[in-house]
């Protein structure tokens, strides 16, 4: 992680004390378990555990339609990016009550709801099932987990409960990834590659842990972000990481963040960065500009991003590279790093990272008017 030379802030509050006072639902522990969650999920979603996977593998699907909302939908975005990069068929993500007008039963449905009771996902899934869709549900329980009892073409891969959906990404995504690998939609890595990747990711997890290094780069960056608007930029294939990071900042730290994708944003948003609005908000405070990169970016995209960070007028521009030998590993590496940043920022704001009062209030309202 490198920046443009901005000065570090040396007055970081005690992270251990903040975590002890604010982390009421164990988000630190859930974050630390991420790599183990990935390992367990990949080992679980196999034909040995679910023999029906082998029969579905024989079908020539047009594509995969992922249904989900919030943290439960994030895995679909990662699958879509991986499929675009090296998949055999497209993977499309739908976050809504409805299905796309072009959908037909030649598309496999992958419906994900951590609770199993997400109303948008349930309505879209049941619409698809009634139209004859083959559906795979990933859930910890609820109504979604019960649909295979009503529809013979619906199958279930159980996930692990007891934590907020956004902290269960490792459980959810690893099951989705294992499934698509065994269906032949994404390639299966050579023997030993996954375990080597997971060992490298675990080292990164330990290095980024804000309680292991309470005054390190993660805490320093979070300090820079406290009173400044946040902008997240990256290449197209990192869009899932950018959006997930934005959502983690929204929920964990109750902070807004804007996302820009290169090269597209160079054809529009670049004018705003260098024009009337410049790199400050309405009050004249400079943005924190975070550019998420990886070694496999297109050469021209790399050149564009290098130019942007060299010409950023803000003193708070950081380039953060996802380490790894593949796109998957680079994405997961960045997930680990950005999760720790969002937790550090949450603590610095005096917020319990698990608290999501407005979301709970909206759900209560919807139940009252149902």
Position 95 pLDDT exceeds 50: yes
Please tell me the total number of residues recorded for the chain in this structure: 370
Mean pLDDT of 32-36: 98
Q: Judge contact between 31 and 343, C-beta under 8 A.
A: yes
Q: Judge contact between 236 and 294, C-beta under 8 A.
A: no
User: Do 218 and 340 sit in the same domain of this protein?
Assistant: yes
User: Do 59 and 177 sit in the same domain of this protein?
Assistant: yes
Please report the beta strands in the chain, taking only residues with DSSP state E, as ranges in sequence order. 2-3, 63-67, 91-94, 107-113, 135-139, 154-158, 230-235, 258-262, 288-294, 317-322
- Res 349: pLDDT: 96
Position 312 pLDDT exceeds 60: yes
Mean pLDDT of 34-39: 98
Q: Judge contact between 117 and 144, C-beta under 8 A.
A: yes
- Res 277: pLDDT: 46
- Res 285: pLDDT: 80
Dmax of the chain from CA atoms? 61
Banded pLDDT at 284 (limits 50, 70, 90): low
- Res 6: pLDDT: 46
Q: Is the entire prediction scored with pTM above 0.85?
A: yes
Residue 274, classed as helix, strand or coil, is: helix
Structural domain that includes position 107: 29-182
User: Do 98 and 38 sit in the same domain of this protein?
Assistant: yes
Banded pLDDT at 278 (limits 50, 70, 90): low
- d(CA 260, CA 301) in angstroms, rounded, equals 13
Mean pLDDT of 325-344: 98
- Res 270: pLDDT: 84
- Res 363: pLDDT: 82
The domain total for the chain is 2
- d(CA 303, CA 139) in angstroms, rounded, equals 42
User: Do 132 and 53 sit in the same domain of this protein?
Assistant: yes
Mean pLDDT of 193-222: 96
Q: What is the pLDDT of residues 238-259, one digit of tens each?
A: 999 999 999 999 999 999 999 9
Q: What is the pLDDT of residues 179-189, one digit of tens each?
A: 999 999 999 99
Strand partners, 111: 67, 137
Phi, psi of 208 (to 5 degrees): -85, -10
Q: 281: domain CATH number?
A: 3.40.50.10490
């Amino acid at each position: 992680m490198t920046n443009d030379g901005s000065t570090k802030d040396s007055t970081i509050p005690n992270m251990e004390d903040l975590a002890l006072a604010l982390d009421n639902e164990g988000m630190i522990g859930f974050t630390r378990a991420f790599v183990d969650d990935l390992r367990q999920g990949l080992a679980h979603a196999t034909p040995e555990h679910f023999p029906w996977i082998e029969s579905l593998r024989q079908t020539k699907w047009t594509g995969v339609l992922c249904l989900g909302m919030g943290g439960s939908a994030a895995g679909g975005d990662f699958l879509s990016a991986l499929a675009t990069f090296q998949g055999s068929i497209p993977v499309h993500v739908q976050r809504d009550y409805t299905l796309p007008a072009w959908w037909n039963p030649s598309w496999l449905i992958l419906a994900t709801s951590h609770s199993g009771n997400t109303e948008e996902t349930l309505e879209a899934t049941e619409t698809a099932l009634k139209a004859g869709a083959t559906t795979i549900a990933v859930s910890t329980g609820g109504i979604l987990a019960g649909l295979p009892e009503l529809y013979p073409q619906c199958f279930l891969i159980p996930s692990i409960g007891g934590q907020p959906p956004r902290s269960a990404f490792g459980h959810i995504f690893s099951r989705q990834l294992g499934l698509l690998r065994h269906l032949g939609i994404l390639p299966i890595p050579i023997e030993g590659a996954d375990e080597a990747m997971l060992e490298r990711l675990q080292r990164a997890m330990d290095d980024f842990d804000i309680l292991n290094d309470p005054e390190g780069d993660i805490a320093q960056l979070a300090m820079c972000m406290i009173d400044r608007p946040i902008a997240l930029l990256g290449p197209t294939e990192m869009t899932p990481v950018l959006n997930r990071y934005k959502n983690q900042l929204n929920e964990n730290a109750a902070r807004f963040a804007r996302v820009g994708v290169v090269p597209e944003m160079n054809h529009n948003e670049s004018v705003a960065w260098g024009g009337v609005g410049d790199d400050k908000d309405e009050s004249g405070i400079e943005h924190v500009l975070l550019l998420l990169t990886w070694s496999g970016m297109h050469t021209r995209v790399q050149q564009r991003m290098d130019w942007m960070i060299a010409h950023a007028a803000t003193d708070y521009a950081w380039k953060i590279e996802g380490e790894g030998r593949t796109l998957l590993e680079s994405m997961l590496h960045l997930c680990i790093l950005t999760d720790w940043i969002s937790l550090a920022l949450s603590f610095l704001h005096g917020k319990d990272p698990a608290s999501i009062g407005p979301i709970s209030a909206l759900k209560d309202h919807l139940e009252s008017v149902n």
